[in-house]
A and B are shown apart, each in its own frame.
Chain A
Amino acid sequence: AQKVTQAQTEISVVEKEDVTLDCVYETRDTTYYLFWYKQPPSGELVFLIRRNSFDEQNEISGRYSWNFQKSTSSFNFTITASQVVDSAVYFCALSEGPLSGSWGKFQFGAGTQVVVTP
């Protein structure tokens, strides 16, 4: 069964500080996909980044970067030089591969509230 754990309930930072969000997942599938979504106060979930289980290369996309480590089943997400507009709830999600019986079915973590103050 899939499981996603986001242990941090809330993180508060001052603008321009970096923020790292932790995500630990469980799956028995060898092919799976990991995502980060942002949910601002408006409520809509906005797709941010994705990674598949065969690609552990960590990348940077603008102010976003991620650290994917299969050995520890972690998919951490960092916002560099945070801004007030980054204030939102961030969700980590796991989807198993096309050969599984639940492809396309997302398992979300409980979310981490990020508060960025000026």
Chain B
Amino acid sequence: EAGVAQSPRYKIIEKRQSVAFWCNPISGHATLYWYQQILGQGPKLLIQFQNNGVVDDSQLPKDRFSAERLKGVDSTLKIQPAKLEDSAVYLCASSMGPGGGGSYNEQFFGPGTRLTVL
């Protein structure tokens, strides 16, 4: 079974530029998550999708970050314009979601995109 795919793996941009990350979850997983992981910290949830609807985006800086999952499968996360403090690893994860996978609803993670903002 293929895992969660993310691209690009690495990205270096200058501040005030725009950047987009792509995620393809595990086939059949209804729930998709985007996390931001700053060096030395645990992952912090940015946004959670259930199919193509947003479940939780309370920690997404909406003035500069946006995300979509139009067909309930792939997702993109965009930053526009980027700031120095956005330098981090952006992780995508997926889970089967309510009704599937049992109560644990464990998440499976992609390799992440390491963003450096200069």
Contact = CB atoms under 8 A, between A and B. Distances in A.
A7 to B, nearest CB: 13
Given A50-B106, A52-B103, A104-B105, A110 B41 contact: yes
Given A33-B104, A104-B31, A44 B110 contact: yes
Contacts, number: 64
Contacts of A102: 56
B78 interface: no
A72 interface: no
A103 B89 CA distance: 24
B95 interface: yes
Interface stretch (A11-19, A57-65, A73-81, A90-98): A90-98
Interface in B55-96: 55-56, 89, 91, 93, 95
Contacts of A109: 42
A44 B97 contact: no
A105 B106 CA distance: 10
A95 B105 contact: yes
B22 interface: no
Contacts of B106: 35, 47, 50
B99 to A, nearest CB: 10
Interface string A83-116: 0000000010101011000111110111100000
A104 B95 contact: yes
Contacts of B111: 42-44
Contacts of A31: 103
B112 A91 contact: no
Given A104-B48, A104-B97, A105-B56, A47 B108 contact: yes
A104 B19 CA distance: 28
Contacts of A110: 40-42
Interface of B: 31, 33, 40-45, 48, 55-56, 89, 91, 93, 95, 97-98, 103-112, 114
